[in-house]
Structure formats: C-alpha cells, structure tokens
Structure 1
Amino acid sequence: MSRHATMKWLRPAKPYFGVIFLQLGYAGMAIIGKSALNKGMSHYTLAVYRNVVATFLFAPLAIIFERRTIMQKMTMSICFKILLLGLLEPVIEQNLYYAGMKYTTATFTTSMSNVLPAITFILAWILRLEKVSIEELHSQAKILGTLVTVGGAMVMTLIGGPVLGLPWTHHIDKRQSINNSNVQHWDIIKGALMITAACFCWSCFYILQAIVLKSYQAGLSLTMLVCMAGAVQGSVLTLIMERKNTGIWSLHWDVNLVAYIYGGLICSGGGYYVSGVVMKERGPVFVTAFNPLSMIIVAFVGSFILDEQLHIGRVLGAVVIVFGLYLVIWGKGNDQTSLAESNEPDAIDQPHALNGVQHVCTNQIAGSQTPPSHFV
C-alpha cells in the first residue's frame, strides 16, 4: 500500500482511534481507581493529584508548541469558561464519580456512566451543536441508538440474573461472591445518584469544551489551564472537606501513586486533549458515544483483578449497548457524508461554470488582438 493510500485511509480513522484510546484509558482508570479506593485512598486527593500531574506534564508542551498563543487569544470570557471547566470535570465530576464507585463496584460505575451519551446528545441538540433532522434516516439512527444504549445500560444495572461461572473466578468463595454481588441497597441508590450527577457535569464539561475550542484553539494550553484550575479549586475543596485528615496528602510507593500518575497522564491530560481534537472534527456526541466500550472492558477485566462476578444480565446489556453504539456511529458517519456532499459544488453546474470560464478566456484572447481605444 502506498503512502498516499495509507494516509487516505488513516485520516478518517483518526477520530475512531482517538475515542478508543479514551475508553481504554478510562477503563484502566476505573480498575486502578477502584483498587486504590478499596485500600483507603481519598477521592478528594485523587482529583487533586491527578490534575497536578497533568498540569506539570502538559505545561512544557504548551510552552514549547503554543507559547505564542497561550495568552494571545485569552479574554475575560475565556478565562471564566476555563475556571468553569476546571470546576465541572476535574472537581465536581471526579469527586462524585469516585464517591459513587466507593459505594458500588467498578463495573456498576462504568455501567451507569452510559447515560453520558444520552445526556450529551440532548444538551448538544438543545444548544444546536448537534445536527438533528427527524425526517432523515441517519438522525433517526442517532436518536434510536442513544435510547438503545441507555436501555442496555439499564439492563446491566437492574437485571442481574445467574452468575457466569468463569474459570478464573472459581476461586472466589461464596461469602466473597455475596459481598461483591449484593451491595447494600441504599449504597447502590446513593452511588447511582452520585454517578448520574457526575455524568451530567461531565456532559456539561464536553459541551463547554466544544464551545471554548471554537474561540481558543490552543488545545495543549487549554488542557494545561483546565487541569491547573481544577487542581487549585480541588485543593480548596479538599482542605474544607478533609481538614481534620491531613494524612491523605502523604505520598507512598503504592497503588495510590499509580492512580495519581495514570489518571493525570492518561485521563486528565491526555483525555482532555484527545477529546478536544476529536471534538473539533466530530463534535461532543461522537466522543461520548463510545463510552460503553470502557464498561465492557471493565466488566471482564474487573472479574480478573477485582474478583467482580459477571451476571447474565450484564452480558445481555453489553450486547444491547454494542448494537446501540453501532447505530450512533452509523448515524454520525452519514452526518459526515451529508456534510461533505453539501459542501461540494453541484455537478450539474460544473459544465456551465467551465463554459463560462472558457467564454471569458475566449473574449479576452479575441479582445487582445484589437488595441484598447485609449491607445488609438
């Protein structure tokens, strides 16, 4: 395959690679974060430290590649929006998300997070960031796919069913299995409410990020500034909420440190930047549409690492989610096709345009044989 053909194939595939990277990163963070939470890590310090790590990692990149644009296009309006971005996801969403995970399991948390595409789709539709025409088939596919995805998430959440006897989970004793599968009812309700609220903040973050990127297109600088704002605001929140527990700030060579570094590099820094790049081309709905992938990954990997049992209901829900995801991707793909066709000149008018150009050129050539009147 020639280089030109390879680039022609890779160019439309870049957004898909980007969102798959995001979901792999989020899945890894769910596993690492739950392991650290089980060992007593504070979700407040997790939110602070991962944004501190992201700030220090992305600040040199922003200075090297975007030093001329960091402050050039900065206005009071953009500065306020960056502070709001730092509050929405790095502070509120992350604390609610991991607090909800503390009450439930990693698989349950990522399953509930599948309401994110639906919330984002509705907000983007209201704010006219997402083109929707009820009469068009691809718009109907996006709507139906969103509903199917949420339905699949609800199946995973509400329908348990028999436990799948996977070979690598046979070592789990009966008491541990009960503890993993029968979490306290009120804990599930509290966790579900926290995760749903977190998804709403996360969706608002994506919508606002898409708006900011239209006027402030320095992606590395925006990532660094958002993480810095989140680290400062999160530190204030942590000092208020955990003022009597100063030991949570201590750092050791353990899974907590892995969660801080991994979360900062992959999820906060890398996640914000990659989502921004994909969002410029495909919009916020496309970024969140792939969210179910992380749930499927966590459901299976969690059974290895966290000893979380898989149930028939979760597997059926995963199948439904994959179908809904396909519908959304198909609809978004046809959006791009329709947009490309609308931007192309009408093929019927092209011959007329060429004839017009030819006619003008002929007149100019013919006219050049006769001297202009003012030279006579």
Structure 2
Amino acid sequence: MVMDSKVVQKLKPYFGVIFLQFGSAGFGIVAKAALNQGSSNYTFSVYRNAIAAALFVPFAYFLERKVRPTMTFSIFWKILLLSLFDPVIGQNMFYAGMKYSSATFASAMCNLIPALTFLLAWILRIETVNLKSVRSHAKILGTIVTVGGAMIMTLIVGPIIGLPWTHKSQDNSASTNVEDPVKGAIMIGTGCLGYSLFYTLQAITLKSYPAGLSLTAMVCSLGAFLGTIVTFLAERGNTSVWALGWDAKLLAYVYGGVISSGITYYLSGVIMKEKGPVFVTAFNPLSMVIVAIMSSFIFAEQMTVGKVTGATVIVIGLYLVIWGKSKDQKEIEPTQQQQQESKAETNPSANIDDTKTDLTNGSETITGPDAV
C-alpha cells in the first residue's frame, strides 16, 4: 500500500498536465465556434476571466484565509503583471492575430510556447540546465522535438488514412483570405510570448505567495478589470459586443472561464511547485493530438499521415523531456533530504518546536494547494 501511494503521488503531476491538455483541446473547439459566430476577442477575454473570478473568489476567501500570505507591493506588482501577460496580452493578441492569418498558421505558432518558456526559465535560472549532463541534453532535445512534431501536424498533410468513422469527404482546400500575414505573425507571436511570460512569472510568484486559489482569483479579477478597460478603448461605441445569448458564445465564455482560466491557472500552479513551468508547457503540443482525434470523431475530419507522424514525434519529444525531468528530481530529492538532516542536527530545539507546531496544526483542516 505504501508503494502504491508513492507511485500515485509521483503520477499526479502527469495526470494533471494531461487533464489540462484535454481541457485546452475542448476549449479550442468551443472557442472556434464562438469566434465564427462573431464573438469579439476583447469581450471573450473579459467574460472568460470574470466568470473564473466569480467562481474562485469565494473558495479563495474561505479556504485560504488562514494560510494567505500578507500582501506586499512586490507581490501585488507580480500579480498585476500576471494579469497583463495572459488574460490581457496573451488572449487578446492571439485571437486578434488569427483574424490576419490562417488557423493552421496560428496553431503552429502557438507551439512556440514550450520553447519560449524553456528559454525564459533557463535565463532566470528556474530550470536547471547543465550543458555537460545527459539529462539537460534530453530536456533541450525533447523540447525541440516536441515543437517540431507540432509543426509537422499543422504544416504537413500527406495521404489520407481511411478510418471507418470518418467521411470519405471531398478535398476541401479552401484558402483563407489572409489580409496581412506579417501583422498576424507579430500579433500571435506576441500572444505566445505573453503566455510564456505568464507561466514563468507564475512559478516565481508562487514561491513568495503560495496561496494558489487566492492567486488565481486575483489574476482573473484583475485580468477582467484590465480587459474591460482595453475593450472600451478598442470597441468604442460598439455596445453590441457585450450582448449575451443562449448560444455557442456563452458556452465558450463559461467553459473558458471555468476550465481554461480558473482551473488551468490553479492546477498548473500546483504542478509548477513540484515540476516547474517547463514541465507544464512541454505538454502543450499534446492538445493538438487530442484535437485531431476528437475532430475525427466529432466532425468526421480526415486523419492524415502528417497528423499521425507529428503525433508520434510529439510523444517521443515528451518522453525525452519527462526522462530529463525525472533525472533532475532524483538528484534534487537527496540534496533536500541532506539539507533537512543538517538543519535538524545543528538546531535540534527548532526541530522539536516544529514537531509541536505540526501536532497542534494536525487537528486543523488542510486547505489551499496542499489539499490537492
């Protein structure tokens, strides 16, 4: 039983990131339907984050009131930047860029997020990289291979693989009217950079403000507020963009708020505490594999050799990243244990006090990220 619990504990982060990618894949489908119905990318961001804030604020207030750290100017500044990087810059720039380019091109560029996050984490020394070690080579190569696999899925078609549940459809190679591909590339690239900055800064912020529910609630609340200001400036006089109805747009707002903003921000933060931002974003291209499979069943879209090849390459790349991260974990754990033992030997009275504190707190309800 002890061995089983240890295995489950080690597998939790992997189940978590896979769940996030299923959520991302589902959001891609409903968001596409909403944008096709004329949803404004600005109000999309506002409603999505407002719904997430409304859901998480009560939980954050009641469950983390005893463990919530004191707010300082430094922490507030980081939370403000987080609210700008993803809810405002990332979401708005990515969807706006799609209007100037094809969906295929946008999806391909979105897979730069793992590489950008790895680079930022390396520069800021969040991610351990030793160019002489095999595990670091595996992480670097795995990130490159994963991004390459995503590019293969989106840019290479190849022969159609006949599956019984897909239509033998006509070759719909309708071209997209690209108004300004350069402008679209700049916007989407800026959005991807915003996402990468968000993940990197989130990992840093959680070290000084570990209350994950409260952090999620504040990021979504500030994101909705700042997004509202941006929407009023961008959609001056156009009040129709705020209209709500019982349609695909409302479904996308609710799904995006609950899954893609609220749960994703919180769960990714929990996983980051153990594995870091690179581990979380390394699985992003997996959502493309999930979308391809789901689309073949839901929309009867044809499966091609390019998609299957790209999916295989993504799995290989993910394996390399996971292997490298597992080797990092094996090296970090003994070091942390030695530090704890050294601390206990040098200050035994503090260790006794800690034990008393743990026994006293043992009767209290565990809340916040530690309850996950």
Q: TM-score by structure 2 length? A: 0.85
Q: How many residues align?
A: 342
CA offset digits 1:69-107 (Å, max 9, x no partner):
54x420111111111111110111111222344556666
Conservation of the 8 A alpha-carbon contact between 1:106 and 1:302: no
**2:327 alignment counterpart:** 334
**1:236 alignment counterpart:** 229
Sort the Cα spacing of 1:50 and 1:110 in 2 relative to 1 into closer, same or farther, 3 A. same
Sort the Cα spacing of 1:126 and 1:244 in 2 relative to 1 into closer, same or farther, 3 A. same
Instruction: Name the Cα RMSD after superposition.
Output: 2.5
**1:178 alignment counterpart:** 173
Conservation of the 8 A alpha-carbon contact between 1:85 and 1:209: yes
Q: Tell me which of 60, 74, 78 is aligned to 1:77.
A: 74
Q: TM-score by structure 1 length? A: 0.84
For residues 198 and 17 of structure 1, the distance between their equivalents in structure 2, rounded to whole angstroms, comes to 27
Sort the Cα spacing of 1:231 and 1:345 in 2 relative to 1 into closer, same or farther, 3 A. closer
Conservation of the 8 A alpha-carbon contact between 1:159 and 1:313: yes
Q: Tell me which of 286, 292, 296 is aligned to 1:299.
A: 292
**1:325 alignment counterpart:** 318
For residues 164 and 41 of structure 1, the distance between their equivalents in structure 2, rounded to whole angstroms, comes to 34
**1:150 alignment counterpart:** 147
For residues 226 and 244 of structure 1, the distance between their equivalents in structure 2, rounded to whole angstroms, comes to 28
Conservation of the 8 A alpha-carbon contact between 1:112 and 1:153: no
The CA deviation at 1:146 is: 1.2
For residues 332 and 197 of structure 2, the distance between their equivalents in structure 1, rounded to whole angstroms, comes to 26
For residues 157 and 171 of structure 1, the distance between their equivalents in structure 2, rounded to whole angstroms, comes to 21
Gaps of 5+ in 2: 340-344, 346-372
CA offset digits 1:262-311 (Å, max 9, x no partner):
11111101000001100011110001011111011112323444565544
**2:309 alignment counterpart:** 316
Tell me which amino acid in the other structure corresponds to 2:109: M
Q: Within 5 A, what are the aligned runs for 1:48-197? A: 48-70=46-68, 72-102=69-99, 109-170=106-167, 172-174=169-171, 177-179=172-174, 182-184=175-177, 190-197=183-190
Conservation of the 8 A alpha-carbon contact between 2:100 and 2:179: no
Q: Tell me which of 190, 194, 218 is aligned to 1:201.
A: 194
For residues 117 and 77 of structure 1, the distance between their equivalents in structure 2, rounded to whole angstroms, comes to 27
For residues 9 and 131 of structure 1, the distance between their equivalents in structure 2, rounded to whole angstroms, comes to 24
For residues 294 and 186 of structure 2, the distance between their equivalents in structure 1, rounded to whole angstroms, comes to 25
Q: Tell me which of 36, 41, 44 is aligned to 2:42.
A: 44
For residues 308 and 190 of structure 1, the distance between their equivalents in structure 2, rounded to whole angstroms, comes to 30
Conservation of the 8 A alpha-carbon contact between 1:115 and 1:153: no
1:320 partner SS: helix
For residues 180 and 161 of structure 2, the distance between their equivalents in structure 1, rounded to whole angstroms, comes to 24
Tell me which amino acid in the other structure corresponds to 2:111: N
Sort the Cα spacing of 1:317 and 1:190 in 2 relative to 1 into closer, same or farther, 3 A. farther
The CA deviation at 1:196 is: 2.6
For residues 232 and 226 of structure 1, the distance between their equivalents in structure 2, rounded to whole angstroms, comes to 10
Sort the Cα spacing of 1:241 and 1:304 in 2 relative to 1 into closer, same or farther, 3 A. farther
Tell me which amino acid in the other structure corresponds to 2:322: I
For residues 203 and 227 of structure 2, the distance between their equivalents in structure 1, rounded to whole angstroms, comes to 23
Sort the Cα spacing of 1:145 and 1:195 in 2 relative to 1 into closer, same or farther, 3 A. same
The CA deviation at 1:45 is: 1.1
For residues 290 and 107 of structure 2, the distance between their equivalents in structure 1, rounded to whole angstroms, comes to 10
1:282 and 2:279 aligned: no
In our comparison, the structure showing a higher alpha carbon Rg is 1
